[in-house]
Amino acid sequence: MQMKKTLVTWTILAGLAVGSGVRGADVTVETGPKVVTIKGRATCLKNGLKEDDYCKTVLIADKGGVPTKYYVVHNEIGQRFHPEVCADTKPVKVTGLLRKVLDRYELTPQRMTLE
């Protein structure tokens, strides 16, 4: 009887380990960063787009004729620049590291300027 309980326990633990490994692989799909320069319109995710409850700079640029959102990481440069676009949309040029995480683009700015 004890051996049966141990076998059942190990079977359950093995199933959980395999199941969590599959889900973990799905969640961490991303591509590596590359340095890019993007021109577009910067606005606030909260005040400009009204899509969330917190302020975050979003750059909207045409990619192949389709408007694409690039979520700006709030590092030191991103934080200093956000007040410029929090209440109004402005044309900007951003140079930084771009990476795709799941279905969204994240842009870590190295330089941001108004156009």
Tens-digit pLDDT string for the chain (115 aa): 555 555 555 555 555 444 444 433 334 445 567 889 999 999 999 999 999 999 999 999 998 889 999 999 999 999 999 999 999 999 999 999 999 988 899 999 999 999 8
pLDDT at res. 33: 77
Other Cβ atoms within 10 Å of 108 Cβ, number: 17
Residue 88's alpha-carbon distances to 6, 52, 101, 113, in angstroms, are 63, 16, 27, 15
Of 9, 77, 69, 76, the C-alpha closest to 42 is 69
Between CA 100 and CA 69 the distance in angstroms is 11
- Pick left, alpha or beta for residue 61 (phi over 0 → left; psi -120 to 50 → alpha; otherwise beta): beta
pLDDT at res. 12: 56
Between CA 31 and CA 33 the distance in angstroms is 7
